Amino acid sequence: MNEKKKRIIATAKELIALYGFKKTTMDEIAAKARMGKSSMYYYFKNKEDIFAEIVRIDSDLFRQKLNDAIQKAYSPQDKIMQYIRTRMLHLKELSNYYKTLTNEYLDHYFFIEQVRGDFYNFENNTLSTLINEGIQQNVFTPCDVDVVVHLIAIAIKGLEYPLFIQKEQDLERDSKQMMEIIFKGIEVRA
Amino acid sequence: MNEKKKRIIATAKELIALYGFKKTTMDEIAAKARMGKSSMYYYFKNKEDIFAEIVRIDSDLFRQKLNDAIQKAYSPQDKIMQYIRTRMLHLKELSNYYKTLTNEYLDHYFFIEQVRGDFYNFENNTLSTLINEGIQQNVFTPCDVDVVVHLIAIAIKGLEYPLFIQKEQDLERDSKQMMEIIFKGIEVRA
DNA sequence: AATTAGACTGAAATACAGAATTGGTCGAAT
DNA sequence: ATTCGACCAATTCTGTATTTCAGTCTAATT
């Protein structure tokens, strides 16, 4: 990517993290990135486009991080646990970074829905693959994979909310214990 | 309860279901209940008080409904399933009735938090009792009851969202299948 | 041709004053 | 004890004047 483009992205990201999307003006970004406002329109279609690019890059990195975490673990159970752990830690980090960004009015931007949808699919596919691998390896008992994925996804989402209140260890303990039950529910019995 | 008081509650409930809390004026309620506005202040401290009473009554009925459902079932698993089923159906009904009432600005009324908290406690206690009964009856394996309750609560909450979109049967099928996994996870093994 | 910038525009947000609405009170009537 | 109309203060609404800001245009620069 072009150096100027990177600078715009970096500056915009910085300001948006501080003030939110709406309150960050194109003039501010231009000033802080040391260039004329219209120069930015040479690289980006509009303001939303900058934001969309930031979100796109971040979510790519997120997905990569999750894939790395899975790769590093061995058993299907551990892969799933590492997925959840990584996901939680990243989301916590994110929520700290974008303190001012309240979800409510983010919903008004179409590409957020897009990213949300993409991530939903990614998560479903990833978990599906892991469960299927477990069945293949005779670790999990053959079952309706979609339902298991749904249950895990819901459990993860349920843990999302207290992300902003609870302590990190508690969350990890909770998710571990909850997953143990689910694993017991789908593991092949000796 | 006094007849007039009942009439105020009924009228207010009707109007609030139609227009929401904020848009329903005391004058309207008074007019529709065929009495002077200030007469209502003889029975209620203020507007919020009327609303609070409505919510209190409704949530009492809800709790009673749930207790009835539990009583009618026999096995611990069935009791839990019936609890979930009844809870879902009631919430669906509620959401149909109070179409205009969007949660967002209900949060601003303190007693909603109160009721939410009360219900949270009720749900926790109820599920705890059921799980403990299951352990007592040697149906569930002894385990950290709090974690199991947390998992079930989260799963239920996760099913809450699509309540407004999904079909009823799907929800029932989903919850049934998900609970089967959790039950398998905590049942005593033969 | 690719890039940059300053001036400009129209639409949307904001600020604000005056008017209307509405939750709640009071004293009189029953 | 209960009901009510008149009233009040505060909030909300409404229309308008002002400002802000995303995005464009054109000309200059590399």
Give A-chain residues touching B177 at CB under 8 angstroms.
Answer: 144, 147
A150–B174 C-beta distance less than 8 A: yes
Both A5 and A74 in one domain: the answer is no
Both A11 and A54 in one domain: the answer is no
Q: Report the residue count for chain A.
A: 190
Both A81 and A8 in one domain: the answer is no
A53 vs B103, higher pLDDT:
A53
B147–A174 C-beta distance less than 8 A: yes
Residue of B nearest to A190 (CA): B189
Contact between A117 and A164 (Cβ < 8 Å): no
Both B8 and B88 in one domain: the answer is no
DSSP code per residue over B82-105: HHHHHHHHHHHHHHHHTTT--HHH
Residue B16 falls inside a structural domain: yes
Both B98 and B176 in one domain: the answer is yes
Q: Which domain holds residue A32?
A: 1-44
pLDDT in tens, B135-166: 999 999 999 999 999 999 999 988 887 766 66
Contact between A106 and A81 (Cβ < 8 Å): no
Count structural domains, chain A.
2
Both A174 and A86 in one domain: the answer is yes
Both B138 and B115 in one domain: the answer is yes
Both A40 and A74 in one domain: the answer is no
Both A40 and A88 in one domain: the answer is no
Residue B49 falls inside a structural domain: no
pLDDT of B189 reads 78
Which CATH number covers residue B173?
Answer: 1.10.357.10
Which CATH number covers residue A17?
Answer: 1.10.10.60
Both B114 and B68 in one domain: the answer is yes
Residue B62 falls inside a structural domain: yes
Strand C interface, protein residues by Cβ within 7 Å = A 2, 4, 34-39, 42-43; B 24-27, 37-38, 41, 46-48
Give B-chain residues touching A186 at CB under 8 angstroms.
Answer: 181, 184-185
3-state DSSP of chain A = CCHHHHHHHHHHHHHHHHHCCCCCCHHHHHHHCCCCHHHHHHHCCCHHHHHHHHHHHHHHHHHHHHHHHHHHCCCHHHHHHHHHHHHHHHHHHHHHHCCCCCHHHHCCCHHHHHHHHHHHHHHHHHHHHHHHHHHHCCCECCCCHHHHHHHHHHHHHHHHHHHHCCCHHHHHHHHHHHHHHHHHHHECCC
**Cα–Cα distance for residue pair A47/A12, rounded to 1 Å:** 10
B157–A181 C-beta distance less than 8 A: no
**Nearest CA among A153, A54, A160, A64 for reference residue A111:** A54
C1’ D10 / CA A8, Å: 47
pLDDT of B168 reads 74
Q: Report the residue count for chain B.
A: 190
Residue B59 falls inside a structural domain: yes
Task: Calculate the CA B85 to chain-centre distance.
Answer: 12
B182–A144 C-beta distance less than 8 A: no
Give A-chain residues touching B102 at CB under 8 angstroms.
Answer: none
Distance from CA of B158 to the nearest CA of A (A): 5
What CA–CA distances, in Å, run from B66 to B60, B71, B88, B154, B163? 10, 9, 10, 18, 18
Give A-chain residues touching B143 at CB under 8 angstroms.
Answer: 181
Both B38 and B71 in one domain: the answer is no
Residue B86 falls inside a structural domain: yes
User: Which nucleotide is nearest, taking the CA of residue A39 and each C1'?
Assistant: C4
Both B154 and B104 in one domain: the answer is yes
Residue B37 falls inside a structural domain: yes
Residue B80 falls inside a structural domain: yes
pLDDT of B159 reads 87
pLDDT in tens, B113-139: 899 999 999 999 999 999 999 999 999
User: Which nucleotide is nearest, taking the CA of residue A41 and each C1'?
Assistant: D23
Residue B81 falls inside a structural domain: yes
Q: Report the percentage of chain B scoring pLDDT > 70.
A: 94
Q: What is the pLDDT along chain A (190 residues), one digit of tens a residue?
A: 788 999 999 999 999 999 988 899 999 999 999 999 999 999 999 999 999 999 999 999 999 999 999 999 999 999 999 999 999 999 999 888 887 776 545 666 778 888 999 999 999 999 999 999 999 999 999 999 999 999 999 999 888 877 666 677 788 898 999 999 999 999 887 7
User: Which nucleotide is nearest, taking the CA of residue A42 and each C1'?
Assistant: C3
**Residue keyed to tokens 């571990």:** A176
For residues B81-98, give the mean pLDDT.
Answer: 92
CA quadruple B82, B88, B89, B90: dihedral positive or negative?
positive
